[in-house]
Amino acid sequence: MESKVNNSRWAAIARTVVIGRNPRFTFARIVVLVMAVVLAREFVLLPVRIKGPSMLPTYAENGVNFVNRLAYVSHEPQRGDVVTIRYSGTSVMLMKRVIGLPGETIAFHAGRVSINGIPLEEPFIKYPTDWEIPPVTLASDKYFVVGDNRSMPQNLHTFGETERRRIVGKILLCKNLFASSPPPR
């Protein structure tokens, strides 16, 4: 008889842990939690899979990261931010680093980036390059983006000017590597 009481007590404890004391309230909490997750997935956090070597060594191929779609609600993209850019619809996006801001003049000489004639320190560049790009002055709504892996030939790399409206958001879990030194102006 004592074992029946003991089993009944454990069953009641298990029910309380799994379902809660009030099943209706527990069901309502589950519905709210599911809705919050769906809304966050649709409007705040967008998962992206990294395909291609463009962002090596900063981001590995086939890795997964999240895009914060609300990152630029209160401010514009900054130099050094890793962003996703809507390339074709919502399923094809590019992951690139912002190096040029609106109104700046960007140029590559012997693989080195200069902004308004001042060389840009890029601590994340591990592979040397020999890119040559003549100076380009950005319009008031354009940003210059490029991947971190510049060891590939220039013609095999997707980079350049992008409109602000095409920037979807900022990649989470990424440090702004320009934060320690002031950007050239």
What number is the average pLDDT over the span 35-41? 86
133, 161, 174 from 97: Cα distances, Å: 17, 12, 11
Place of tokens 């999240």: 66
- Counting Cα atoms < 13 Å in the Cβ hemisphere of 179 gives 5
Domains and CATH numbers, the chain: 2-42 (no CATH), 46-171 (2.10.109.10)
Most confident of 11-25, 60-74, 99-113: 99-113
The residues that bridge with 85 in the sheet, in sequence order, are: 94, 167
Chain segment 46-85, per-residue pLDDT in tens:
888 888 888 888 888 888 888 999 999 999 999 999 999 9
pLDDT at residue number 45 = 87
pLDDT at residue number 32 = 92
pLDDT tier at 104, thresholds 50, 70, 90 = very high
Chain segment 149-183, per-residue pLDDT in tens:
888 888 888 899 999 999 999 998 754 444 444 44
Are 83 and 61 in contact by the 8 Å Cβ rule? The answer is no
Q: Is 51 assigned a catalytic role?
A: no
Q: How many degrees, rounded to 5, is the angle at CA 64 between CA 63 and CA 70?
A: 140
Q: Whole-model pTM above 0.85?
A: no
What number is the average pLDDT over the span 4-10? 75
Question: Which is catalytic among the residues 3, 8, 54, 140?
Answer: 54
pLDDT tier at 25, thresholds 50, 70, 90 = confident
- pLDDT at 184 > cutoff 80: no
State the chain's mean pLDDT as an integer.
85
Q: Is 54 assigned a catalytic role?
A: yes
| Residue scoring higher pLDDT (88 or 149) | 149
pLDDT tier at 135, thresholds 50, 70, 90 = very high
Question: Which is catalytic among the residues 3, 74, 88, 96?
Answer: 96
pLDDT at residue number 141 = 95
- pLDDT at 2 > cutoff 70: no
